[in-house]
Structure 1
Amino acid sequence: MEKQFNLIPNKTILKYLLIIQFLLLGGSLLLFQSYKNENPLKLRKKNHTIEIKRLTDIADIYFDTNKKDSAIYFFNKAKKLCDPKINTIDYVYALSCIAELQLEQGNYIACEANATEALPYLKYIKNPRYSWIIYNILGNNYANNYDNSNAILYLKKALALKSSAWRKYITLNNLAAIYMDEKKYKDAMDIFNILASQKNISKYDAINHNNYSFVINNLGFCHYKLGNSKKALNYFYEALKIRLKPETQEGLITTYKYLSIFFEKTNPHLSREYAKKAYVHALKIDNAIDKIETLGLLIKHSEGHELKQHTLSYLKLVDSITIARQTAKNQFTNIQYNSKKDKEENLKLKTQKAENKLQLERQKERIIIAYIIIVFILGLVGFQYFHFKGKGKKEKDEAVFKSELRISKKLNDELANDVYQTMAFAENRDLKLIENKEHLLNNLENIYLRTRNISKENSKITTDNNYVSALKEMIAEFKTPKINILLNGFDGVFWDKVEKNKKIILYRVLQELFLNMKKHSQATLVSITFKIKEKNIVVTYNDNGTGISKNDLILKNGLQNVENRIKTINGTVIFDLDYEKGFKLSFTLPL
Structure 2
Amino acid sequence: MKTSSIIKILFLPIVLLFLFTSCEKKKQNIVQKIDNTAEIKMLQEKANDFFNSGKNDSSFFYFNKVKLLCEPKIEHFDEFVHSSVMMGNILQKNGDFYEAETMITKAIPYLEKTSQPKFTINTYSSLGYNYYRTYDYEKSLNCYRKALKNAVSTFRKSSEISNIAFIYVQQKKYKEAIDLLEPLTKRTIIDKVVPLNTHAERASKLYHLGLSYLRLGNHQKQALDCFNESLELTLKSGNDFELIPNYYALYLYYKKYDNPELKMMNAQKAYDCSKRSKSMAEQITTLGNLIEADDVQNTRKHWKAYIRLVDSTANSMKIAKNQFANIIYDSKKDKEENLELKNQKTEKELQLQIQKNRSTILYVIIGIVALVSLFLAYYLTAKSKKEKNEAVLKSEMHISDKLHNELTNDIHNILMFAQNHELDNIENKEKFLSSLNNVYAKTRNISRENSEIITDRRYIDNLKNMISQFKTSDVNILINGLNDINWVKIDKHKKIVIYRIVQEVFLNMKKHSDATLVGINFKITERKLIIKYTDNGKGISINEINKNGLTIIQNRISNINGETYFDSAPEQGLKISFKIPV
TM-score, structure 2 as length reference: 0.50
Query: Which residue is equivalent to 2:43?
Result: 55
Secondary structure in structure 1 of the residue aligned to 2:75: coil
TM-superposed CA distance for 1:62, in Å, is: 2.0
TM-superposed CA distance for 1:305, in Å, is: 2.9
- The alignment's C-alpha RMSD in Å is 3.4
Secondary structure in structure 1 of the residue aligned to 2:144: helix
Look up the equivalent residue of 1:58 and give its one-letter code.
K
Matched, 1:122 2:118: no
Secondary structure in structure 2 of the residue aligned to 1:215: helix
Alignment map for 1:292-311 (pairs within 5 Å): 292-301=284-293, 303-311=299-307
1:292 to 1:325, Cα distance in 2 relative to 1, 3 A: farther
Contact 1:109 1:329 in 2 (8 A): no
The one of 166, 183, 186 aligned to 1:194: 183
Contact 1:242 1:248 in 2 (8 A): no
Q: Distance in 1 between matches of 2:38 and 2:100?
A: 27
1:255 to 1:142, Cα distance in 2 relative to 1, 3 A: same
Alignment map for 1:230-241 (pairs within 5 Å): 230-241=221-232
Matched, 1:214 2:210: no
Q: Distance in 1 between matches of 2:268 and 2:281?
A: 16
Query: Which residue is equivalent to 1:500?
Result: none
Look up the equivalent residue of 1:264 and give its one-letter code.
K
Q: Distance in 1 between matches of 2:339 and 2:91?
A: 25
Query: Which residue is equivalent to 1:76?
Result: 64
Larger Rg: 2
Alignment map for 1:95-244 (pairs within 5 Å): 95-203=84-192, 205-227=195-217, 228-244=219-235
Q: Distance in 2 between matches of 1:152 and 1:42?
A: 42
Contact 1:188 1:222 in 2 (8 A): yes
Q: Distance in 2 between matches of 1:339 and 1:195?
A: 45
Look up the equivalent residue of 1:245 and give its one-letter code.
K
Q: Distance in 1 between matches of 2:281 and 2:74?
A: 36
Look up the equivalent residue of 2:332 and give its one-letter code.
Q
1:279 to 1:305, Cα distance in 2 relative to 1, 3 A: closer
Alignment map for 1:386-405 (pairs within 5 Å): none
Secondary structure in structure 1 of the residue aligned to 2:106: helix
Secondary structure in structure 2 of the residue aligned to 1:146: coil
Contact 2:43 2:65 in 1 (8 A): yes
Listed one character per residue, the Cα deviations across residues 389-433 of structure 1 (whole Å, up to 9, x for unaligned) are xxxxxxxxxxxxxxxxxxxxxxxxxxxxxxxxxxxxxxxxxxxxx
TM-superposed CA distance for 1:249, in Å, is: 6.4
Q: Distance in 2 between matches of 1:287 and 1:167?
A: 28
Alignment map for 1:215-294 (pairs within 5 Å): 215-227=205-217, 228-246=219-237, 251-264=242-255, 266-287=258-279, 289-294=281-286
Contact 1:136 1:155 in 2 (8 A): yes
TM-superposed CA distance for 1:337, in Å, is: 5.1
Q: Distance in 2 between matches of 1:282 and 1:36?
A: 67
Secondary structure in structure 1 of the residue aligned to 2:88: helix
Contact 2:61 2:327 in 1 (8 A): no
Q: Distance in 2 between matches of 1:196 and 1:38?
A: 63
Alignment map for 1:138-537 (pairs within 5 Å): 138-203=127-192, 205-227=195-217, 228-246=219-237, 251-264=242-255, 266-287=258-279, 289-301=281-293, 303-318=299-314, 320-321=316-317, 324-325=320-321, 328=324, 331-332=327-328, 335-336=331-332, 338-348=334-344, 351=347
Look up the equivalent residue of 1:241 and give its one-letter code.
E
TM-superposed CA distance for 1:277, in Å, is: 2.6
Secondary structure in structure 1 of the residue aligned to 2:285: helix
Look up the equivalent residue of 1:66 and give its one-letter code.
G
Contact 1:96 1:114 in 2 (8 A): yes
1:70 to 1:273, Cα distance in 2 relative to 1, 3 A: farther
TM-superposed CA distance for 1:274, in Å, is: 2.2
1:129 to 1:216, Cα distance in 2 relative to 1, 3 A: same
Look up the equivalent residue of 2:86 and give its one-letter code.
C
TM-score, structure 1 as length reference: 0.50
Mark the runs of 5 or more structure 1 residues left unpaired by the alignment: 1-33, 359-591
1:202 to 1:39, Cα distance in 2 relative to 1, 3 A: closer
Contact 1:209 1:248 in 2 (8 A): no
Listed one character per residue, the Cα deviations across residues 520-549 of structure 1 (whole Å, up to 9, x for unaligned) are xxxxxxxxxxxxxxxxxxxxxxxxxxxxxx
TM-superposed CA distance for 1:215, in Å, is: 1.1
Contact 1:110 1:328 in 2 (8 A): no
Answer with 227-236 or 282-291: which moved more. Answer: 282-291
1:349 to 1:156, Cα distance in 2 relative to 1, 3 A: closer
Look up the equivalent residue of 2:127 and give its one-letter code.
L
Contact 1:256 1:274 in 2 (8 A): yes
TM-superposed CA distance for 1:246, in Å, is: 2.3
Q: Distance in 2 between matches of 1:315 and 1:268?
A: 29
Q: Distance in 2 between matches of 1:107 and 1:89?
A: 24
Q: Distance in 1 between matches of 2:28 and 2:179?
A: 66
Secondary structure in structure 1 of the residue aligned to 2:255: coil
Q: Distance in 1 between matches of 2:321 and 2:77?
A: 28
Contact 2:151 2:157 in 1 (8 A): no
Query: Which residue is equivalent to 1:6?
Result: none
Contact 1:283 1:291 in 2 (8 A): yes
TM-superposed CA distance for 1:101, in Å, is: 2.9
Q: Distance in 1 between matches of 2:304 and 2:29?
A: 70
Q: Distance in 1 between matches of 2:172 and 2:138?
A: 14
Query: Which residue is equivalent to 1:85?
Result: 74
Look up the equivalent residue of 1:260 and give its one-letter code.
Y
Contact 2:124 2:146 in 1 (8 A): yes
Q: Distance in 2 between matches of 1:224 and 1:300?
A: 19
Secondary structure in structure 2 of the residue aligned to 1:245: helix
TM-superposed CA distance for 1:54, in Å, is: 0.7
TM-superposed CA distance for 1:345, in Å, is: 4.2
Contact 1:95 1:118 in 2 (8 A): yes
1:319 to 1:190, Cα distance in 2 relative to 1, 3 A: farther
Contact 2:178 2:212 in 1 (8 A): yes
TM-superposed CA distance for 1:50, in Å, is: 0.8
Query: Which residue is equivalent to 1:499?
Result: none
User: How many residues in Structure 1 have an aligned counterpart in Structure 2?
Assistant: 325
TM-superposed CA distance for 1:240, in Å, is: 0.7
Asked which structure has the greater RCO (Cα within 8 Å, sep 6+), the reply is 1
Q: Percent identity?
A: 28
Q: Distance in 1 between matches of 2:58 and 2:236?
A: 28
Secondary structure in structure 2 of the residue aligned to 1:263: helix
Q: Distance in 2 between matches of 1:323 and 1:268?
A: 39
